[in-house]
Amino acid sequence: MAIAMTPTTAAPPDTAPDAIPAPIVIAHRGASGYLPEHSLEAKAMAHAMGTDFLEQDVVLTRDARAIVLHDLYLEDITDVARRFPDRARADGRWYAIDFSLAEIRSLRVHERIDLATGQPVFPERFPPEADLFRIHTLEEELSLIRGLNRSTGRTAGIYVELKHPAWHLAEGLDPVPILMRELDRAGYRGPEDRVYIQCFEPDTLKRLREDIGTRIPLIQLIGENDWRSPADLPVDFERMRTPEGLAAVAAYARGIGPWIGQIHQGTDETGAHRTTRLAADAHAAGLLVHPYTFRRDALPEGFGDFEALLRFFLVDQGVDGIFTDHPDVAVHLRGRFTGREQAE
């Protein structure tokens, strides 16, 4: 697929979005603690809450349209099983890439459901029976953010994740040029435009840096080796977290996005925090650290409340940003810890 884009000159990976002092607050799938994840309504709410960046997970439809959806499949957050009962694959899942954009637009989006129990994953969040929300395209979301930035006078950046690009390639569609075309059209071309691209697949990030020559700062997401799914590549995340692995990441990425359990590993018999050296080692390698995911209604072991959790990561560990389902609380607490005001 030939994609015409504004020519760019590759920048070193130590360039970060301009004029945003750390630590940053990233709205994880929008204000997803209050409204269904990745709905436009959740993004508008997160923007109004003063978040620094809004996250977009990107997958493709059958007709090669970039949509904002966390998973490759649809049944956890939509009524696809009822609307299209005969369209599941052999594994019992309904994949977005098997549907046209028009078909996906017809689905109703609801709060995430645990398919094993039929109950909401987060019971106290937005009622799952509400019939109010739809899946939208990346183009539409970027248009919304651009409009809100203009009407409010407060610029929120974007933080895009390419979901399983190698899997998409095996299915016959390449999401990389499609994403870069959308970002280019919307004016996101470099760090001055307040944009990051993140991915779990290092080969994709290297392709963006070395072959495409993007100036957009790249973030290497870090999972666990036992999180494998059929769509995942055999990446050794344990080695990636070593000083040698982090040095290799620093050659192509601006930062890492680790799971919070890779920094904080519970408490010992005295109640003291068990902490790894990941944040310190990443900083020593010149990498930003943006861990995920901070939820007020799902606290890790060892934290009595959300304030204690954020204080540990933002103050004690000195991370450079956090992904959170509750951006309003995170912005408020960040201001308390650092003196930054939401009016920024």
Catalytic residue among 38, 70, 136, 164: 70
Cβ(219)–Cβ(257) under 8 Å?
yes
CA 29/CA 12 separation, integer angstroms: 28
- Is 136 an active-site residue? no
Cα distances (angstroms) measured from residue 230 to each of 45, 162, 297, 310: 34, 17, 30, 34
Q: Which residues pair with 247 in a beta bridge?
A: none
Please answer whether residues 26 and 324 qualify as being in contact, where contact means their C-beta atoms are separated by less than 8 angstroms: yes
Residue 30 CA to residue 327 CA, distance in Å, equals 8
Element (H, E) at 145: helix 138-152
Pairing of strands 264-267, 255-258: unpaired
- Residue 86 identity: D
Residues 6+ apart with CB under 8 A from 304: none
Which residue matches tokens 């072991």?
A: 301
Residues paired with 78 in a beta bridge: 109
Q: Write the burial class of residue 146 (CB in 10 Å: 0-12 exposed, 13-18 middle, 19+ buried).
A: middle
Q: Is 70 a catalytic residue?
A: yes
Alpha-helical segments (H) within the chain: 40-48, 80-83, 101-105, 138-152, 165-170, 175-185, 202-206, 237-240, 243-249, 278-284, 306-310, 327-338
CA distance 315 to 326: 18
Q: From residue 128, how far is each of 64, 131, 324 by CA, in Å?
A: 29, 8, 20
For residues 212 and 201, give the distance between their C-alpha atoms in angstroms, rounded to a whole number: 16
Residue at token pair 């949509």: 67
- Which of 28, 38, 168, 326 is flagged as catalytic? 28
Q: Are 23 and 322 in contact (CB under 8 A)?
A: yes
User: Tokens 């010992």 appear where?
Assistant: 268
Active site amino acids: 28, 70
